[in-house]
Structure 1
Amino acid sequence: MAILQSSSLLTRSSSSANCFGKSRASLYNTNYVLVSKLQINAEFNPRKGFKSFKTTNPLENNKTNMEKEEVMSKPVALQQMYAIMDIAADRAQMHKNIAAQRDNWNWLLLNSVNEMTVTAATLAGIAAVGGGGGGAISLLALKLSSSLLYMAATGVLLVMNKIQPSQLAEEQRNASRLFKLLHEEMKTKVALKTPDSNDVEEAMEKVLALDKAYPLPLIGTMLDKFPSIVKPAVWWPEDETTHEELQVKVKLVGKEETNGWDENLEKDMKEIVGVLKKKDTEEYIRLCKLVLKINKVLAICGPLFTGIAAVGSALMGSSSFGSIAAIFGVVFGAMAIVVNSLQHGGQIGMVFEMYRSTAGFFSLVGETIKSNLEEKEADDRENGELLELKVALQLGRSLTELRDLSDEEDEDEFASKLF
């Protein structure tokens, strides 16, 4: 009996000891979790004179260190390529935002100019019929108000015609699209192979060439909106070794295929380059020149008409130019509204930039083909079948249509069916 009682006491004491141990362990774990979640900024406060501390979880530290080691273990060229990809994506978003802003400029400024011109013409018409019966003071007020509005509209028009907001917006839209295309191109290159220093240098050159072709600032680096010589847009690094005329020095024996190339493909590619240069590029340069002439005429007529209307409004009521001044003040104001709506409402500057960029696109396709043909070794070229496929899709043709292009005798046939 005594043995049973002692064993029972021993069991109860061990059980209570286990419960007490579990309680202490649970309390310790709870306190550790609470302390690990407590975060205090580790910055020195000069006013209070103390430096606080921050407690961190060792597991999180180990995870962060592993991530850093994994990043540092990658080749430097790959890290640089990822950095350039981030820059290209940021540039694309930046140009997209600025394109929306400059498109808003175009519509806000156009509406403001037209409203000022309509108001000025209305005031000039009221002044022409005698100032509404208010006497000389009323007539003077109407004349001054009309002249001031016309002069303000003239000033705004001079600024608009200088910067061409619709053309600026189109430039930024093109830049945004091309930066996105460059970002995807680099992503594909990283997925297919590990980039080297040459790939990094090429990617940097393409980013800088795009920055130069489509500048963001308006002062100093803005593209000339009325160039004396119209050329296709160039947004890729120019190759100084590219000749004006195509000269191929590669010799292939028979019809043996090397890296997707053969004699027939070379012949077809040469013909495509010729058609692109003689037909597509020249046609869009001709359209660029035509649109530029129209834009120049409208850019001169708009401020000129509002200026004449301002002078007419100021001379209304005089004995020498009374009736003629009234006609100038009203009629030229109406003509200015029509001209401004055609130029900026029709976005003539945007049309010019669209044609210029399209001509640049055809030039880029031709330069890509020529650069491949000028390689002395076929292995240094891009795969011929892949290049043929890309050119066909870029021109909106099937492979059969692309191969038949060089055999067509129709002189009016353009290389591109896309534009």
Structure 2
Amino acid sequence: MASLKASSLMFSSTSSSSCCRREIIRAAVHMPKLRHGGLLSLPNLTKTRGLVEELEMRSGYTNANTNSSPKYDTRVSDPTVIAKLYAIMEAIVDRVEMHKNIGEQRNNWNSLLLTSINAITLTAATMAGIAATGVGGGAALGSLKLSSTLLYLAASGMLLIMNKIQPSQLTEEQRNASRLFKQLHAEIHTMVCIGNPTMNDVKKAMEKSLPSGGLCIKRRDKRKNIMGEKINNGNGWDDKLEEEMREIVRVLKRKDEEDYLRLGEIFLKLNKVLAISGPLLTGLAAIGSAFVGSPGHGSWAVVLGVVGGALSTVVNAFEHGGQVGMVFEMYRSNAGFFKLMEESIESNLEEEEVERRENGEMFEMKVALQLGRSLLELKDLAASSSIKGEAMQQFASKLF
């Protein structure tokens, strides 16, 4: 009996507790009524939901459980813009290397010519001092005077050339140009990495990379291919662009390549003459010095030994101080650069399938950058090259 009472007591307490739970649940589900009879309303979640959707749209993420389609950031850079910026960056890297090399060459000119001029001046002063003492007399005295005069004249000519071209100032200009192009390269690289570049950014970058300081001729182009406007033809090519490239090749062959080959030939001949004259004069001076003091050969031996040595000093100073061989190689290298450009343009034009060519817009921009011109200047060059007389007044390249 006691057990039955205990079990019934436990059952009753359990049932009562469950009833309490149900009442508590019902109290949690049903909204309490206010004094005026209305229900307590929940906060409006519309604004909160809109804020969440806005944050998701900005981050490009949307919950997979929602019925709406995913929303991604549509502000993606145009691949054409990125490709053009990379092409400009490649041209800038080449420009930095060019200015660096030119700066080193001019610095070598400055140091070598200065050393040569100082050595020649000291030698001339020494000869003049010895001649003033009157030692030797006769032929020896005349040789010393003549050699001193020739050395002074050579030093004066070289000094006038140095003061005119100012190699040290030109070296500093090249350093500044290299630094500015490095800064421009860093700006474009940052723009590509963290920004959303547009065609306007491409225009500004290309204008800054031009040697004319970013000046651009403003006019309307009939073909509408100025930095990003599409050509309605396969792979960016049309008949007018092909004709423009052919005219550029003609100008390169007729003016730039021919002129640099001509200058290269001149400096090659000059280098050969100086390379032969220097050892020849030195050898004659050695022969003359060997016969100095011998009976019957005293006069001409002194003249040959002193004057030959002075002249060989001047020749070697011009040849190696002026780096004549380097100048010849520079002209030949520039002519080879233009020849390579011609072959690149012709290989694209000879390809009959337009789709297999390099993109016309990109190729036109690369040609303009290699020549140091804007796209409008490139078109003006091609248009004027067909006019008789005017085509012979300008070169294709504005860099060298």
- TM-score interval, smaller chain: 0.3 to 0.5
Structure index of larger Rg: 2
What TM-score, normalized by structure 1, do the two folds share?
0.43
